[in-house]
Structure 1
Amino acid sequence: MTATTTPPTPPRPRRGVGRTLIRGVGELLITLGVVVLLFVVYEVYVTDLFGERKQAAATTQVDRVWAQSQETATVTASAAPQLATDPQQRVPRYDTVLGEGFAKLRIPALGADYVFTVVEGTDPDDLYIGPGHYSQTQLPGEQGNFAVAGHRVSKGSPFNDLGLLRSCDAIVVETQDDWFVYRVLPMAEEEAGWAAQTRPHCSGVSVQTGTYAGVYGREITVPSDYAQVLPVPTVLSTTVPPDAQRLITLTTCHPQFSDAERMIIHGVLVASYAKAPGYLPPELTET
């Protein structure tokens, strides 16, 4: 009987160095992609959750302070029709502390539930809590520029929808004793035809002239353009002139998911009210 022999197994071809390198690079890129994706998820979603908790804590704190103040208030809800006030007579009765809330910001056009506690300061830790007041700028209702910064994406994303605001939309600021109603200024593209503007709620809103010429409701600028939050935007002076308007300026990153530019929203004060139990400014019902 003849024994059969098994033919030798041919040698496996050796993998080329180039092929091995390409495979290694591919695996590295996949790993990096997963890391980047996880980072994006953390920045966009996880930090939002942390920011909401920090914002809730700041709101609880400011509500506690205001509640203590209301216990000694002498104005009653029955006096609501006479609550319109002259902001020139306003004297702040509170001190701001870095990182702590002192006001609330409401924008009815962005929803009835749009409300954020504004904290003092614009450092990263401050802005993680919520919108932050530029400490060198004026307080709500004062002559000059009450300027506030906020994240557009992540860490609570309070200013994500600022780009949706239109001219004359109300920006309502609540403090311990007062309500201040600002309205977004005309946009640059509306300047020529503004005289014929018949939209509701535009009373008291006009195209800016004189030292305020060129100040519009929405501007896109560079991050270093700090002049936007000065007492008279774009005028390089920290002095509040005697005839200064009472403005609000909101700043955030632009475009979305980038900090290459800044979106600026400017508004002008058109009304103010004294606070009273049960009273809410009518502007809060606008849509």
Structure 2
Amino acid sequence: MAPSPRPRPRPGPTPPEKDRTRTIVRTVGEVLITLGMVVLLFVIYEVYITDLISAGKQREATAQLDDRWHEQDTAEAQRSDHFEGLGEGDGFAKMYIPAFGADYQFTIVEGTTAESLEVGPGHYTDTAYPGQPGNFSVAGHRVGKGAPFNDINLIQSCDAIVVETQHSWFVYRMVPLEEEKAGWAEGKGKDPRCKGVEPLGGPYEALVGQEIVLPTNGGVIAPVPHNPDVTLSSGEMASLMTLTTCHPRFSDKERLIVHAVLTDQWAKDPSKPDERPVELEETG
């Protein structure tokens, strides 16, 4: 008769110390997973959901601007642009950057409050308006909320920034980068697109096409950038456009600045409502 097998010994109870360690590890892991999900949802909201919300607000602002232009065209005998009476968030112009493609278009609104910038690029209210001597300055988000200035670091010297108002077209072009100033006339300045673009001297000596500054540097949107204390007559003043946005992406640590100079402008022809400037064809 075969001997009966010995019963296997039963494992003893898990030591309390090991139980506590497992519980802590499991709890920490669950917390990290939860935090990761929260961060992921926040990023999705900031990058994608706010884009959708802002796109709707931008469409509404553009439709309202088109309606207002049509109504005023019908009522006004004089065809000249007026910017008085604009309220915070009111659309008053359209901006195109042809190098970003034929579909790049944003309505510019008055003001740079958080609410205004959720609609689109916002005009610094104490700066010049399109075509005026001084510095027409516009801020925009780089990530989320429509991100109109997501790629402005890709603008190159002489690239056009076209601004449309009710009665006029204005063409600004980015001024030379710091490293392009020397030999500009013999180098890139020969490009036909660079007509009217050159390094500016005198009080504009520090002006460059792109720069990165601290958020506290408000001098970049002064009538004479970097020289806010300089006072010039309108005849002595250049007509500039400045774009500002956060830098780097997903951070407000610094500001990325683009400076452009007015190189062309003309009044719209009422008999040719569909006529558009040739600069809009300079797509990338």
TM-score by length of 1: 0.88
Q: Report Cα offsets for 1:198-233 as digits up to 9, x if no partner.
A: 223101001121100111111111111111001110
Please identify, of 241-250 and 17-26, the stretch whose mean Cα deviation from structure 2 is larger: 17-26
Deviation of 1:19 after TM superposition, in Å, equals 3.3
Deviation of 1:24 after TM superposition, in Å, equals 1.3
What is the rounded CA distance, in whole Å, between the counterparts of 1:137 and 1:70 in structure 2? Answer: 26
Equivalent residue, structure 1, for 2:219: 227
Equivalent residue, structure 1, for 2:265: 272
Contact 1:167 1:184 in 2 (8 A): yes
Q: Report Cα offsets for 1:46-97 as digits up to 9, x if no partner.
A: 0000000000010010000111123357799xxxxxxxxxxxxx76265321
Contact 2:81 2:166 in 1 (8 A): no
- Read off the aligned partner of 1:102 and give its amino acid letter: F
Name the SS of the counterpart of 1:235 in structure 2: coil
Deviation of 1:257 after TM superposition, in Å, equals 1.9
Q: What value does the CA root-mean-square deviation take over the aligned residues?
A: 2.2
Equivalent residue, structure 1, for 2:24: 21
- Read off the aligned partner of 1:190 and give its amino acid letter: E
What is the rounded CA distance, in whole Å, between the counterparts of 1:104 and 1:164 in structure 2? Answer: 20
Equivalent residue, structure 2, for 1:246: 239
Q: 1:179 to 1:12 in 2, by over 3 A?
A: same
- Read off the aligned partner of 1:106 and give its amino acid letter: Y
Q: Determine whether 1:283 maps to 2:262.
A: no
Q: Report Cα offsets for 1:165-185 as digits up to 9, x if no partner.
A: 100011111111111111100
Summarize the alignment of residues 127-276 of structure 1 with structure 2, pairs less than 5 Å apart.
127-196=117-186, 197=188, 198-237=190-229, 241-242=233-234, 243-276=236-269
Contact 1:144 1:247 in 2 (8 A): yes
Name the SS of the counterpart of 1:105 in structure 2: strand
Name the SS of the counterpart of 1:194 in structure 2: coil
Contact 1:153 1:257 in 2 (8 A): yes
Contact 1:134 1:148 in 2 (8 A): yes
What is the rounded CA distance, in whole Å, between the counterparts of 2:206 and 2:278 in structure 1? Answer: 30
Name the SS of the counterpart of 1:71 in structure 2: helix
What is the rounded CA distance, in whole Å, between the counterparts of 1:125 and 1:240 in structure 2? Answer: 34
Equivalent residue, structure 2, for 1:68: 71
Q: Report Cα offsets for 1:106-165 as digits up to 9, x if no partner.
A: 111111111100000001000000000000111111110000000011000100110111
Q: 1:283 to 1:95 in 2, by over 3 A?
A: farther
Contact 1:138 1:147 in 2 (8 A): yes
Q: Determine whether 1:34 maps to 2:37.
A: yes
Contact 2:81 2:165 in 1 (8 A): no
Contact 2:81 2:168 in 1 (8 A): no
Deviation of 1:240 after TM superposition, in Å, equals 5.3
Deviation of 1:17 after TM superposition, in Å, equals 2.4
Equivalent residue, structure 2, for 1:81: none
What is the rounded CA distance, in whole Å, between the counterparts of 1:108 and 1:121 in structure 2? Answer: 24
Equivalent residue, structure 2, for 1:12: 13
Aligned residues, how many? 272
What is the rounded CA distance, in whole Å, between the counterparts of 2:83 and 2:120 in structure 1? Answer: 22
What is the rounded CA distance, in whole Å, between the counterparts of 1:188 and 1:7 in structure 2? Answer: 82
Deviation of 1:261 after TM superposition, in Å, equals 1.1
TM-score by length of 2: 0.89
- Read off the aligned partner of 2:39 and give its amino acid letter: V
Q: Report Cα offsets for 1:224-254 as digits up to 9, x if no partner.
A: 1111001110112385544110000000111
